């Protein structure tokens, strides 16, 4: 069954600290893996897209990694800011399907 | 500005009523999608369209209908057959389906039942 799991479900960190969000998937065949940021009441916004051959991609303070052998990805946020508070969604693309994970809710507090 | 626009932001449905959610894009994208988001769950695909005048059912199409008469527009109708319509609805578009391109999302419509 094609599935995308994310952990933790929610996370609270202090402003300025780093954090890492995890994504495990069983989607096959695999085409790409995307991380999205979704602010409350808004549509998701793309952070990174990685294909099978890529194992890391950065977008400012966001760095995504991909291990296609173990079917795991992580999103590392460096020097967190209050504006990083959002839901982070891992999305895995197959041949003709896009499977969304349930998201990790991140709260950054002062 | 190029983008994807959903309206209204909030919508209320009476029992037995059909309601239509609007989605318009000026990105010249071929593929458009409708997703439903419930708390604590991943987005689920309702319908998608890869080209004008053609659309396909997604995983949870029952109780919904769509049309794609113009490239720019992909409205979603929530019919009275959808017994649990309260959710956040997201429209998205992509240049071409089944590629490594970005999915662009609208800002969503929150539908609630009165």
pLDDT, tens digit (0-9, with 9 covering 90-100), for A9-39: 999 999 999 999 999 999 888 889 999 999 9
Alpha-carbon gap, residue A40 to A89, rounded angstroms: 13
Beta strand B109-113 with B10-13 is parallel
Among residues B38, B95, B15, the alpha carbon closest in space to that of B46 is found at B38
Beta carbons within 8 Å of B65's beta carbon, 6+ residues apart: B76, B77, B79
Dihedral of CA atoms B86, B88, B89, B91 in degrees, nearest 10, equals: 180
Prior bond of A107 cis (ω within 30°):
no
DSSP per-residue codes, A35-57 = EEEE-TTS--EEEEEEETT--EE
Chain B residues within 8 A of A51 when measuring between CB atoms: 100
Six-digit token pair at B72?
């720019």
Give me the residues paired with residue A76 across strands.
A20, A63
Question: B110 and chain A: CB distance < 8 Å anywhere?
Answer: yes
Ranges A14-18, B49-53, B81-85, most confident: A14-18
The confidence score (pLDDT) of residue A98 equals 84
Among residues A24, A25, A31, A8, the alpha carbon closest in space to that of A94 is found at A31
Are A8 and A105 a contacting pair, CB within 8 Å? no
Beta strand A56-59 with A4-7 is unpaired
Question: A60 and chain B: CB distance < 8 Å anywhere?
Answer: no
Chain position carrying tokens 């020097």: A79
Alpha-carbon gap, residue B31 to B34, rounded angstroms: 11
Confidence at B55, pLDDT banded by 50, 70, 90: very high
Mean pLDDT over the full length of chain A: 93
Closest chain A CA to residue B37? A102
Mutate to test the interface with B, among A32, A38, A44 (most CBs of B within 10 A): A44
Sign of CA dihedral B69, B110, B97, A29: negative
A54-107 pLDDT, tens digit per residue, is 999 999 999 999 999 999 999 999 999 999 999 999 999 876 778 899 999 999
Category of B80 on φ-ψ map: left (φ > 0), alpha (ψ -120 to 50) or beta: alpha
Chain B residues within 8 A of A57 when measuring between CB atoms: none
Do the chains contact at A43 and B110, CB–CB below 8 Å?
Answer: no
Determine the distance in angstroms separating the CA of A108 from the nearest CA of chain B, rounded to an integer: 19
CB atoms near residue B46 (< 10 Å): 26
Do the chains contact at B100 and A41, CB–CB below 8 Å?
Answer: no
């Amino acid at each position: 069954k094609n599935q995308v799991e994310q952990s933790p479900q929610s996370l609270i960190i202090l402003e300025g600290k780093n954090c890492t969000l995890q994504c495990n998937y069983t989607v096959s065949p695999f085409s790409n893996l995307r991380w999205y940021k979704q602010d409350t009441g808004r549509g998701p916004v793309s952070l990174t897209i990685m294909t099978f051959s890529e194992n890391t991609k950065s977008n400012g303070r966001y760095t995504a990694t991909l291990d296609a052998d173990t079917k795991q990805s992580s999103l590392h946020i460096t020097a967190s800011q209050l504006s990083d508070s959002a839901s982070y969604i891992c999305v895995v693309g197959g041949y003709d399907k896009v499977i969304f994970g349930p998201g990790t809710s991140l709260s950054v507090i002062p | 500005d190029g983008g994807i626009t959903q309206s209204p932001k909030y919508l209320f449905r009476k029992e037995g009523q059909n309601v239509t959610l609007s989605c318009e894009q000026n990105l010249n994208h071929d593929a458009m999608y409708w997703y439903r988001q419930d708390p604590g769950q991943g987005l689920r695909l309702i319908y998608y369209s890869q080209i004008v005048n053609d659309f396909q059912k997604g995983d949870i199409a029952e109780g919904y209908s769509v049309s794609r008469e113009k490239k720019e527009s992909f409205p979603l109708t929530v019919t009275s057959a959808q017994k649990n319509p309260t959710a956040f609805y997201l429209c998205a578009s992509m240049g071409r389906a089944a590629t490594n391109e970005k999915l662009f999302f609208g800002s969503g419509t929150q539908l609630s039942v009165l």
